[in-house]
Structure 1
Amino acid sequence: MTTGYTPIYRIMKDGVDITGQFNDRTLQIKVDLQAGNGNDDQCTVLIDDRDWRIARPLTGDVLGVWLGYVEVGMAYMGTFEIDDVTFLGPPRQIKLTGKSTGSNDIQKAPVIREFDNKSIGDILGQMAGQTGLGVSISEGLAGIKIPFKNQGVSNLHMIHELERLTGAVAKVVDGKLMFIKRDGAETASGVALPTLVLQPEHFGTWQVRYTAKPGYGQVKASYFDKDEMVRKWVGSVVGGEVGGPGLANKFGGAFNIGQLFNSKEEAEKAAASQAENFKRAEVNAQFDLAKGDPWIRDQQTLIVSGMRDGINGSYVIDKATHTYVKSTGIKSNLECKAPGNGTNFEEASKEFMRPMPGELLGEYLRTHPNVNRDDLSREDIDAINQGGFVN
């Protein structure tokens, strides 16, 4: 096992490796990989412009970004379309900010139309097709029928409304609209992903916070019964005791969703999705890794072990931030939540990835033949590291 790592990065533009133009100039590369909820993956690059000799960057430029180590390889972060260029000083610097390619293309102006007994796959396919985006939807979500829905909002708003309704993660990655089950521990093509197991030696600092928010025991949603011409209610019980005694069911009453849904099925899914959101909100964890590990991704399932009660347990990574800093190397911060359905991954997961203390996930993937990238589809690889285990 390698004990020392030399941080490196790669930047591509229009298929051309332009890393050499940045090596003496790059001060920082920060990549935020986020699990939907209206948030896009984002990249920020800070460049030293000390002598004003750098060619002027333009909004609309598309950059491909990799982060990694000489001894291991590089993890693909994604392609990002620059939508903000800021010139700073003193000292003279340029800051480039971009979002995942294609995320800016989704229509943001209101659209008036209706969907009658259409599946989520049909609806998202139509929206993505209007802007040339590809689509990758989990099989269990693609076939969900929406009996009737009026759209009076933008496509972007509609996509995130469907995300909330079904408990999914909706995000654009490299020009493809991804729509996968939140906390599902599997890819858009339905392949189960191994759960990452981390121990105290993997962490620099940590913070695990339990919040005593109103612990509703049930979520209720209503729909209009067209046969009986009345409003009816359905409910979903908030999941297991992930937050521990005193958090779940503290209030004991029901949380009522104000929106009136078009069918019983739609109301049931909305109630279940909101119940899972309450469970996630009970626990929020921040883990700074001892060694930056850009192979770790949002929505990756995680088990923390070897620490105390209250820290040990199952988490889902809601946001992974990987930052290359010229003076210090690569840092990784993981923002995690509890599984919405209260799943104990130690019992539910079939496969685990267990990097040794000081070992990177990228090195583990390279050296363990039981996790074979050649057995995975492109969608599977994207779901683990958005492009490739080790480049």
Structure 2
Amino acid sequence: MTTGYTPIYRIMKDNEDITGNFNDRTLQIRVDLQAGDGNDDQCTIIVDDRDWRVVRPLNGDVIGIWLGYVEVGMAYMGSFELSDITFLGPPRQIKLLGKSTGTNDIQKAPAIREFDNKSVGDILGQMAGQTGLGLSISGDLSGFKIPFKNQGNVSNLHLLNELERLTGAVAKVVDGKLMFIKRDGGETASGVALPTLVLLPEHFGTWEVRYTSKPGYGQVKASWFDKDEMVRKWVGAGITSGDGVGLANKFGGAFNIGQLFNSQEEAQRAAQSQAENFQRAEVTAKFDLAKGDPWIRDQQTLLVTGMRDAINGSYVISKATHTYIKSTGIKSEFECKLPGTGVDYAEASTEFMRPGPGELLGEYLRTHPNVNPGDLSQDDINAINQGGFVQ
């Protein structure tokens, strides 16, 4: 196992490696990989413009970013369309902001005006088609029908957020493809199970795990219309707190979803999805790794062990931030939540990745053939945004 790592990066534009244009000038590259909820993958690059000789970047330019280490290789961060360029001084600098390629197309596309009783697959297919994006959707989510009518000009982003909420999914654009996958599912869009990453105290620089009391609801209820009996019926899903205590024992109240669903199955899915959202909100964690590891992504399932109770346990990364800083190297920070299903990955997972202290996930993948990225299809690799484990 390598103990010392030399940080490197790569920037591509129009299939041309332009890293050499940045090597003496890049002060910082930050990439935020986010698991939906209205948030996009983004990049921020700060360039030294001390002599005003940097060629002017333009809004709309598309760049690909890799971060990694000489001794291991580089992990693909994604492609980003520049959307905001700021010239600063003193000192003379250029700040570039970019969003995952295709995100701006979703935002600018005409809103879908009619989706009453359409399925998720129909709506996302129409949205992707009118923006020229590819589409990757988990099969069990595709047939869910929308229980409400379009009222006014609802934006595409607002509609995606609604679909996430009702189905328990993650909606995001990655490399020009609209992804819609099960949240906390531990699987890619095509159903391939992803191993759970096991982290020990030696992997962390700092940590913060916060338990927040959110009283009010012990369950979520949703209704559907029984066409045979011509009556409205209700189903429910219980909410369990982060301490494993049912809030219904304390408060007993129910959160009622306003929409009337098409079937009992869809009402039950919506109730379960909202219950999982409440459960995720009770425990949040922030982990700063001792060694930056850009191979770790949003929606990665984690098992933290070797620490105290209330820190040990199962988590899902909702936001992964990887930052290359010229003076210090690569830093990785994660914002995490409990899995909404309350699953214990120590018992539920069938495959684990266990990097040693100081070892990067990228090196672990390279040296453990039983965890073979070659088993994943290209769509799978795109789904977890890890195109090229070792470059």
Give the TM-score normalised by structure 2. Answer: 0.94
The 1:121–1:151 alpha-carbon spacing in structure 2 relative to 1, beyond 3 Å, is farther
How big is the shift at 1:87? 0.7
Q: Is contact 1:28-1:47 (8 Å) kept?
A: yes
Question: Could you say which residue in structure 2 is the equivalent of 1:51?
Answer: 51
- 1:235-283 per-residue CA deviation (whole Å, 9 max, x = no partner) reads 11124x5434486754232122234445544332221111000110111
4+ runs deviating over 6 angstroms: none
Q: Which amino acid in the other structure matches residue 119 of structure 1?
A: S
Question: Could you say which residue in structure 2 is the equivalent of 1:378?
Answer: 378
How big is the shift at 1:139? 1.7
How big is the shift at 1:386? 3.0
How big is the shift at 1:6? 0.3
How big is the shift at 1:148? 6.8
Aligned-partner Cα distance in 1 for 2:246–2:212? 10
Question: Could you say which residue in structure 1 is the equivalent of 2:181?
Answer: 180
Number of residues of Structure 1 aligned to a counterpart in Structure 2? 389
Question: Could you say which residue in structure 2 is the equivalent of 1:193?
Answer: 194
How big is the shift at 1:114? 3.2
Aligned-partner Cα distance in 2 for 1:246–1:144? 29
The 1:248–1:289 alpha-carbon spacing in structure 2 relative to 1, beyond 3 Å, is farther
Aligned-partner Cα distance in 1 for 2:374–2:387? 13
- 1:284-336 per-residue CA deviation (whole Å, 9 max, x = no partner) reads 00000000000000000000000000000000000000000000000000100
In the alignment, structure 1 residue 323 sits paired with structure 2 residue 344: no
Q: Is contact 1:151-1:158 (8 Å) kept?
A: no
Question: Could you say which residue in structure 2 is the equivalent of 1:388?
Answer: 388
- 1:37-76 per-residue CA deviation (whole Å, 9 max, x = no partner) reads 0100000000001111111111000010000000000000
How big is the shift at 1:225? 5.2
Query: Does the residue aligned with 1:106 lie in a helix, a strand or coil?
Result: helix
Question: Could you say which residue in structure 2 is the equivalent of 1:252?
Answer: 252
Aligned-partner Cα distance in 2 for 1:231–1:247? 27
Consecutive unaligned residues in structure 2, runs of 5 or more: none
Aligned-partner Cα distance in 2 for 1:359–1:106? 39
Query: Does the residue aligned with 1:285 lie in a helix, a strand or coil?
Result: strand
Query: Does the residue aligned with 1:33 lie in a helix, a strand or coil?
Result: strand
Question: Could you say which residue in structure 2 is the equivalent of 1:306?
Answer: 306
Question: Could you say which residue in structure 2 is the equivalent of 1:289?
Answer: 289
Give the TM-score normalised by structure 1. Answer: 0.94
Q: Which amino acid in the other structure matches residue 63 of structure 2?
A: L
Q: Is contact 1:34-1:41 (8 Å) kept?
A: yes
Aligned-partner Cα distance in 2 for 1:218–1:246? 9
Query: Does the residue aligned with 2:103 lie in a helix, a strand or coil?
Result: coil
Q: Which amino acid in the other structure matches residue 169 of structure 2?
A: A
The 1:114–1:27 alpha-carbon spacing in structure 2 relative to 1, beyond 3 Å, is same
Question: Could you say which residue in structure 1 is the equivalent of 2:270?
Answer: 270
Q: Is contact 2:145-2:262 (8 Å) kept?
A: no
Query: Does the residue aligned with 2:131 lie in a helix, a strand or coil?
Result: coil
Aligned-partner Cα distance in 1 for 2:28–2:384? 24
Q: Is contact 1:247-1:282 (8 Å) kept?
A: no
Aligned-partner Cα distance in 1 for 2:384–2:49? 35
Query: Does the residue aligned with 1:279 lie in a helix, a strand or coil?
Result: helix
Q: Is contact 2:3-2:358 (8 Å) kept?
A: yes
Q: Is contact 2:179-2:383 (8 Å) kept?
A: no
Q: Is contact 1:111-1:151 (8 Å) kept?
A: no
Choose 260-269 or 31-40, whichever is displaced more: 260-269
Aligned-partner Cα distance in 2 for 1:384–1:223? 35
Q: Is contact 2:47-2:94 (8 Å) kept?
A: yes
The 1:324–1:140 alpha-carbon spacing in structure 2 relative to 1, beyond 3 Å, is same
- 1:348-380 per-residue CA deviation (whole Å, 9 max, x = no partner) reads 000000000000000000110011122210122
Aligned-partner Cα distance in 1 for 2:150–2:226? 17
Q: Is contact 1:30-1:323 (8 Å) kept?
A: yes
Choose 50-59 or 195-204, whichever is displaced more: 50-59
Query: Does the residue aligned with 2:272 lie in a helix, a strand or coil?
Result: helix
Aligned-partner Cα distance in 2 for 1:308–1:362? 27
Where does 1:111-122 land on structure 2 (aligned, <5 Å)? 111-116=112-117, 118-122=118-122
